[in-house]
Structure 1
């Protein structure tokens, strides 16, 4: 193998490792937004964002509902309003699909379609589909190839009602 071939292979491996690290960051974000959630020791939503991160709802439904938050503290404060001990959700689970991740040096851009299955404290429930577009940066805080969220955009595509526990009817 030539040095050029080895360098090209090393570059490809680095991109694959970066994509996997980006997946890990977004998977932890989604898991920490699930209800109920049992975070691992030392894990927090705040640790997933850059200091100057932006989180915003875009499109006709989410621009009004969520608006735009800037800064780690403002983002976490908004997210915590939906998570325990807040009584907003009784259950909340996120699924990601249609993934596309591009990595260029120390930045990455990811796109997903998210399905969110939510049961609310008032016993209503709905399925929500949203498009996520997220910019990540390689963390300067450590040497563990951790990728942080710099700009999180979510756009609601559709929603539909559903039943959280259809087995209740079967057991009645």
Structure 2
């Protein structure tokens, strides 16, 4: 095996590891936005973002609703308006699909289609679909090869009301 072959394999391995780390980051983000949520010890939304991160709503519905937020503190403050102890969601679950992750050295770009199933404290419920485009950067704070959210863009594609049925007890 030549040094060129070894270098090519190392580059491919680094790309696979970056893709896996990005999947972990976006999965933790979604799980921390789900309700009910059971974060792991010491886990926080703020730890998933770079210091200078941008979070923005794009498109006709989300540009006006969310706008553009810059910096980890501003982003987490906005997200906390939808999470306990604020009474907003009674339950909330995110599903991701149509994944595409592209690694370009120190930048990783990911795209997903998200389906969000939400029940609100006012007893209404809806399904929301959004396109997510997210840029990631390697963490300078973490030795575990973590990748952090650098630029999060979300665009609502559609929404639809739905009925949340209370759990029914079944007896065997």
* TM-score for both structures, normalised by structure 2: 0.95
For residues 69-98 of structure 1, the C-alpha deviation after alignment (integer angstroms, 9 at most, x for no partner) is: 111000000000000111100000000000
Query: After TM superposition, which residue ranges in structure 1, 4 or more long, deviate above 3 angstroms?
Result: none
Structure 2 match to 1:71:
71
CA positional deviation for 1:135: 0.6
Structure 1: tracts of 5 or more residues without a match: none
Alignment-derived partner of residue 100 in structure 2? 100
Taking the TM superposition and a 5 Å limit, the aligned residue runs for 1:1-150 are: 1-150=1-150
The Cα of 1:167 is off from its aligned counterpart by 5.2
Distance 1:102 1:164 in 2: 37
Choose 5-14 or 78-87, whichever is displaced more.
5-14
SS at match of 2:9: helix
SS in structure 2 at match of 1:108: strand
Q: TM-score, normalised by structure 1?
A: 0.95
Q: Deviations over 1:43-88 (max 9, x none)?
A: 0000000111110000000011111111100000000000011110
Residue pairs, 1:153-168, within 5 angstroms: 153-165=153-165
Distance in structure 2 (CA, Å) of the matches to 1:76 and 1:142: 20
Report how many aligned residue pairs link the two structures: 169
Secondary structure of the structure 2 residue equivalent to 1:118: strand
Q: Following the alignment from structure 1 to structure 2, what is the Cα–Cα distance between the partners of residues 27 and 21? A: 10
